[in-house]
Structure 1
Amino acid sequence: MSNIPSQFSALKTVPGRDGRIVLIDGVRLIAAVIVVFYHYTAWHHDRWGTATAVQAWPHLAQITVFGNMGVQLFFIISGFVILLSRYGRSKAKFVGSRVGRLYPAYWVGVIITGTLVFFIWQQPSPTLTVGEILVNLTMFQGAFKIEDVDGVYWTLWAELRFYIMILILMSLKWLTPAKVLAFAFIWPLVGLILQLAFPDGPAQVWISQLLMPKYAGLFTGGMALFLIYKFGPSWQRWAALVLSATIAAFHTSIYGPHEAKEFVGIEPPAIAYWLIVLGFFAMMSILTLTRLNRVNFGGLKTAGAITYPMYLLHQVIGWWLIGLLSPVLPRWTTLALVVALIAVAAWGVNRWVEVPFGGRLAKLVEKKLSRHRHETAPAQKGLRSS
């Protein structure tokens, strides 16, 4: 890469043996766990034998009502890590790595959850069809307004759109420090302006789908943090980080209380969401920009490895298990047992699906894309010369 000065240069420091900041793996698991507790003890479902989960957990729900903010933390981490993982990779390798990382565990999650809701327990999705389950296997069901097999899959569509943006930057050769910095300023600002200018109607649908204004600042905040981590601090990079964090906190403070009221029945103050989002950015800054970025101890990589399959499996399957166990076991025992079962299942998916097949799928996709590029290059060259 040294002969391509316009691209990202070598890292200043490479924490850990493989360039990973291992503490981020632990943070990922924490984010997943708080989402799990949100869906089990705060979200409006009746699997505890009460009309809502809040009635079963009136005190715990006052805390776990904020558990859905784990998604915000995931998006910040994604903005940081996706640039870190991009370093030294071609477009084919980037796409291959994303496909190999996302799809094997996801396919297992869709198949297991789809089988559950279609053949065994139809309560969460009584209108789901086999065709819709098959479309879910593409991970692009959000683009076609098709119901997710499991509600948490909506975040994957957001992640995919972010990856597509990164791929576009790579294709345009804009994945340079200066242009990434400009992108980190422009994306959340444009999204905010357009959302305020077109709060309703068809335009808002397109703005939401293409620009994701509610989440743009989370992704770009992670990107700005990466620029500081890799190239060192500057007032422009810190300004991009502060701007992104502020816009992200603003959006979250608007929709956060309303979603809590709708989905949980509790309406926390908006300031709580400001503090949570800004706190996440502060925490990520400390983890990545201080000596903590070199901390490594046993179990952190395992924690990171089971996070994604745990997230994929936990909601509908967990609700079903709670419904089976809560009538015969104490609530705390049921909660602990279901979380443990989901964690074990996540470990199994990682061990027997992601590890053996993720890398193979990534290499296969990279090989196919690289071959296509080489096969089309001569024709493209001839076309230009003509």
Structure 2
Amino acid sequence: MAEILVKSERSTGIDCLRAIAVIWVLLYHFVPLPIFNRGTFGVLLFFIISGYCIAFSAESSRSAWHFYAKRLGRLLPALIVCGFLTTLFKTLAPELVEAGRDLKWIHYAYTIIALPTLNVLQVNYNLPDGAYWSLQIEFQFYIFCFLMMTLGLRERLLALICAVTIFRTLTTSTDYYTSNDFFPFFIAGMSIAALMRGRTREALTGILVAVAIDLYHLKFHFRQPSVPIEMYRSLLLWVGTAAVYLAARYDHLLPRPFRALAFIGVISYPLYLIHQDVGMMILRWAQIGREGAGNLLVRAIVLPAFLGLIAWIVYLAIERPTIKPLTAFLTNPRAWLRQPRLAGLWNPEAEREADVARQNSAIP
């Protein structure tokens, strides 16, 4: 129990990795230099972090639905606000929207339903932002964990996701790309969590499976348009897994200056949600070209800082104050409604639980 309580605090090391991941993605989208042409690998780093954190979330959840309610409570507030802002900007300035990325309000509204339900209604819709593709992968991972926990298989999550991923890999055509292509990164993160819990054999088996599946994808030339499968991707899996382990194990050794980097990790989720299409619209409006030192300065520093300011406001005003109440409401609406808020007797801090995933969830 003491170990769980320690894990409930934010990890500066994990937040620093989040910051590196989101900065990586921003530079990929905004700075036209060859060094950043694999910026989508930042999303893969997010997936490893997510697997690490979700393992603790599943362990600390009271039930399968409590686990999924925490995921919804963590992801929906910023998603609703950032999706609204993106849709609003596209509606007000359609001439700045890239071809094929136009958006209707009904698509924005349906996104809030479609992502957590894996588009169960099979409706054809446009995501508010191009970066939201990674949320589709994340929710598939969450729902898999939710279903396994519903079946009472919480203690076998890592083994089950390894088995299912192996089966899907061996039975899927190399020309048919699926979320399965990204599951080795979640497996690697979950394996690091098992290693932190002292389950060494389980952890090493999981890492071996993750590496083997990824190399299998590479060997047989699986297609994956979102993040092409190549040797650099495998290197990211290896280095990212090691980085998550070091960040989690030696978090206490990080010097104080890293707290500034960790702050970017704290706002990384709304920053990721708001950055791509809105950022491109701002560049077109300001007529910032792709060449010249001044333009590169704006793209690399000024624009990310401005988007970071928006993300910080969303975090302070929306995300941080609503995560716990929304999670409590989704977990048990009847009990939540009975609480004496109006009398000033409700204290959200009194409900604080040991949940590393709420603190350390990674999106991409």
RMSD: 3.0
Distance 1:97 1:104 in 2: 12
Mind listing any 5+ residue stretches in structure 1 that lack a counterpart?
1-9, 42-56, 262-268, 372-386
Q: 1:85 to 1:301 in 2, by over 3 A?
A: farther
Q: 1:75 aligns with which of 36, 47, 57?
A: 47
Q: Does the CA-based 8 Å contact 1:15-1:294 persist in structure 2?
A: no
Instruction: Please give the per-residue CA displacement for 1:101-154, whole angstroms capped at 9, x wherever unaligned.
Output: 101111111111111223312533465333222212324286334221101111
Q: 1:244 to 1:127 in 2, by over 3 A?
A: same
Q: What is the identity, as a one-letter code, of the residue corresponding to 1:194?
A: T
| 2:90 is the alignment partner of 1:117 | yes
Q: 1:173 to 1:293 in 2, by over 3 A?
A: farther
| 2:130 is the alignment partner of 1:163 | no
Q: 1:252 to 1:163 in 2, by over 3 A?
A: farther
| Counterpart position of 1:379 | none
Distance 2:199 2:224 in 1: 36
Q: CA deviation at 1:350?
A: 0.1
Q: What is the identity, as a one-letter code, of the residue corresponding to 1:237?
A: A
Q: Does the CA-based 8 Å contact 1:21-1:294 persist in structure 2?
A: no
| 2:166 is the alignment partner of 1:192 | no
Q: CA deviation at 1:368?
A: 2.1
| 2:236 is the alignment partner of 1:276 | yes
Instruction: Please give the per-residue CA displacement for 1:220-261, whole angstroms capped at 9, x wherever unaligned.
Output: 121122111113322x43022122133235547856896679
Instruction: Please give the per-residue CA displacement for 1:82-104, whole angstroms capped at 9, x wherever unaligned.
Output: 12123332234323321221011
| 2:103 is the alignment partner of 1:136 | no
Q: State which structure, 1 or 2, has the greater radius of gyration over its C-alpha atoms.
A: 1
Q: Which has the higher contact order (CA 8 A, sep 6+)?
A: 2
Q: 1:132 to 1:279 in 2, by over 3 A?
A: same
| Counterpart position of 1:346 | 311
Q: 1:101 to 1:301 in 2, by over 3 A?
A: farther
Q: CA deviation at 1:193?
A: 0.4
Q: 1:188 to 1:120 in 2, by over 3 A?
A: same
| Counterpart position of 1:245 | 211
Q: What is the identity, as a one-letter code, of the residue corresponding to 1:274?
A: S
| 2:81 is the alignment partner of 1:108 | yes
Distance 2:82 2:25 in 1: 17
Q: 1:252 to 1:368 in 2, by over 3 A?
A: farther
- Bigger mean CA deviation after superposition, 327-336 or 313-322: 327-336
Distance 1:165 1:257 in 2: 21
Q: CA deviation at 1:284?
A: 1.8
Q: 1:135 to 1:326 in 2, by over 3 A?
A: same
| 2:1 is the alignment partner of 1:22 | no
Q: 1:299 to 1:239 in 2, by over 3 A?
A: same
Q: 1:216 to 1:343 in 2, by over 3 A?
A: same
Distance 1:149 1:220 in 2: 29
| Counterpart position of 1:33 | 23
Q: Does the CA-based 8 Å contact 1:221-1:240 persist in structure 2?
A: yes
| 2:250 is the alignment partner of 1:291 | yes
| Counterpart position of 2:296 | 332
Q: Does the CA-based 8 Å contact 1:152-1:312 persist in structure 2?
A: yes
Structure 2 SS opposite 1:67: coil
| Counterpart position of 1:3 | none
Distance 2:142 2:225 in 1: 29
Q: Does the CA-based 8 Å contact 1:15-1:21 persist in structure 2?
A: no
Q: CA deviation at 1:36?
A: 0.9
Distance 2:72 2:255 in 1: 27
Distance 1:257 1:88 in 2: 34
| Counterpart position of 1:361 | 326
| 2:133 is the alignment partner of 1:154 | yes
| 2:271 is the alignment partner of 1:310 | yes
Distance 1:296 1:256 in 2: 42
Q: How many residues get paired?
A: 323
* TM-score (normalizing by structure 1): 0.74
| Counterpart position of 1:182 | 159
Q: 2:66 aligns with which of 93, 113, 124?
A: 93
Distance 2:269 2:81 in 1: 12
Structure 2 SS opposite 1:137: helix
| 2:154 is the alignment partner of 1:215 | no
Q: 1:110 to 1:284 in 2, by over 3 A?
A: same
Q: 1:367 to 1:225 in 2, by over 3 A?
A: same
Distance 1:252 1:32 in 2: 25
| Counterpart position of 2:349 | none
Q: What is the identity, as a one-letter code, of the residue corresponding to 1:280?
A: G
Q: Does the CA-based 8 Å contact 2:267-2:308 persist in structure 1?
A: yes
Instruction: Please give the per-residue CA displacement for 1:203-229, whole angstroms capped at 9, x wherever unaligned.
Output: x57xx3xxx211111111211221111
Distance 1:13 1:367 in 2: 23
Distance 1:152 1:243 in 2: 28
Q: 1:37 to 1:251 in 2, by over 3 A?
A: farther
Q: CA deviation at 1:296?
A: 7.3
Q: Does the CA-based 8 Å contact 2:25-2:43 persist in structure 1?
A: yes
| Counterpart position of 1:323 | 284
Q: CA deviation at 1:358?
A: 2.1
Q: CA deviation at 1:294?
A: 6.3
